[in-house]
Amino acid sequence: MRDTTFSRRDMLTAAGALTVGAAFAKPFNAAAAEPSGAGPEPTSWVDSAMPEVTHRMIETNGIRLHVAEQGEGPLIILCHGFPECWYSWRHQLGALAKAGFRAVAPDLRGYGRSDRPEEVEKYTIVHDIGDIVGLVSALGAEQAVIAGHDAGATIGWQAAVLRPDLFRAVIALSVPFRERGFGTSVAPTTLMPQNKDAIFYQLYFRTPEAEAALGRDVRQTIRSQLYTLSGDGPPPSDAGGFAKGMLPRKGGFLTNPTSLPAWVTETDVDVYVAEFTRTGFRGALGFYRNVDRSWELLAPLAGAAVAVPALYIAGNRDVIVAVNSQYIANQSAMVPKLRPAVMLPGCGHWAQQERAAEVSAAMIDFLRSL
């Protein structure tokens, strides 16, 4: 573990280019923008399904992000994972607002109503961090707590390392802290396993076949992932399930349930289906297609610790926990202000949806302790 204070030169070296320097610069002026579309749209709006939530388009880091916002008070940014959108934090928005916080859940670049750059190289983790840095500034805040689930957790951890002056604490769901984002000393994809029968899920997500398969029947994709990776899904097995992140090449690793678990409704699924039917999966998969590039850009952070207070929450039936067990066991060495982990018995990958009340309560307790 080494000191996490970096010079601006070091930080821009990590970015690899001035175009993504927003991740490291002091907050800059940004503004609300109209969502893209065929004609003018309001800069903010309310959906009748959740009238307490305000939606806005925000210019940041050269793109526009759609955000859902509720509450007043200290700012907390909620970063979703794959394949999700702001809506995965629907339960926490209200709970955090009621507890006296300003909760803002963006669609990350490539997702939902946010911009989807054409160039695949514009989906590195440094671009994502730059987007969130600019978002904090656009919201008129001097600091924020950053929370993330899945890929959003990876973004949150590295944002806290890069900008402890801006992100005063971090909450990570599912994915633990891993040095340089991916926890490897060589290009991450070179260590991802594959054989004639199965391939590691992140390698699969980099292929054109993955994009085509996910988009073939969007409703089945969403229902199957929500069920199979949840605590209610079938246990993974080496014989064909999603064991340790390995996907059988012959397919059939996801189960489309007859009925959904109690924690998610068909109306919830409708939200995700509408978004991914409109956008496709290309932008969402951009994060995985830049794993090695992101790791290279974070080279100056090798050995850097998380200096701010942190909370880790996960389900004990989350396959990502199994994949990252070695990092979970050792992460306190690199996160000296890590609070005791909150492990949810019987919960799978979608913790903030599967165990909404427990996750919200843990987050609020942590936030109030800062």
**Domain-wise residue ranges, the chain:** 8-189+293-369, 201-284
| Burial class for 211, CB neighbours closer than 10 Å (0-12, 13-18, 19+) | middle
Element (H, E) at 234: none
Q: Look at residue 15 and tell me whether its pLDDT is greater than 50.
A: no
Distance of alpha carbon 239 from alpha carbon 232, whole angstroms? 19
CA dihedral 254, 257, 263, 267 (to 10 degrees): 100
Instruction: DSSP letter for 79, please.
Output: E
Distance of alpha carbon 230 from alpha carbon 349, whole angstroms? 5
Distance of alpha carbon 219 from alpha carbon 120, whole angstroms? 25
pLDDT band at 152 (very low <50, low <70, confident <90, very high): very high
Tell me, what's the pLDDT at 90? Answer: 98
What is the arithmetic mean of pLDDT over 196-207? 94
- Comparing 4-8, 206-210, 287-291, 357-361, the range with the smallest average pLDDT is 4-8
List the catalytic residue out of 55, 66, 80, 349: 349
What is the arithmetic mean of pLDDT over 113-138? 98
What is the arithmetic mean of pLDDT over 180-193? 95
What is the arithmetic mean of pLDDT over 320-344? 96
Backbone angles phi, psi at 267, to 5 degrees: -65, -40
3-state secondary structure of 54: strand
CATH class of the domain whose range is 8-189+293-369: alpha beta
Tell me, what's the pLDDT at 271? Answer: 98
What is the arithmetic mean of pLDDT over 311-334? 95
pLDDT band at 236 (very low <50, low <70, confident <90, very high): low
What is the arithmetic mean of pLDDT over 279-308? 97
Tell me, what's the pLDDT at 42? Answer: 62
Q: Specify whether 349 is catalytic.
A: yes
Distance of alpha carbon 110 from alpha carbon 243, whole angstroms? 28
What is the arithmetic mean of pLDDT over 325-343? 96
Tell me, what's the pLDDT at 234? Answer: 85
Query: How are beta strands 167-173 and 198-200 bridged, if at all?
Result: unpaired
- Comparing 88-92, 139-143, 322-326, the range with the smallest average pLDDT is 322-326
- Comparing 10-24, 45-59, 159-173, 221-235, the range with the smallest average pLDDT is 10-24
Q: Which one, of 205, 200, 177, 31, lies nearest residue 110 by Cα?
A: 205
What is the arithmetic mean of pLDDT over 79-99? 98
pLDDT band at 253 (very low <50, low <70, confident <90, very high): confident
What is the arithmetic mean of pLDDT over 95-118? 98
Where residue 342 falls (left for φ over 0; alpha for ψ -120 to 50; beta otherwise) is beta
Q: Look at residue 276 and tell me whether its pLDDT is greater than 70.
A: yes
Backbone angles phi, psi at 104, to 5 degrees: -130, 120
What is the arithmetic mean of pLDDT over 314-318? 96
| Angle between helix 356-369 and helix 90-98 axes, rounded to 10 deg | 40
Q: What is the mean pLDDT of the chain?
A: 90
The full DSSP string for 241-286 is S-GGGEEETT-------SS--TT--HHHHHHHHHHHHHH-SHHHHT
List the catalytic residue out of 128, 150, 232, 318: 150
Question: 307, 334 in Cβ contact below 8 A?
Answer: no
Q: Specify whether 150 is catalytic.
A: yes
Secondary structure tally for the chain: helices H, strands E = 14, 11
Tell me, what's the pLDDT at 273? Answer: 98
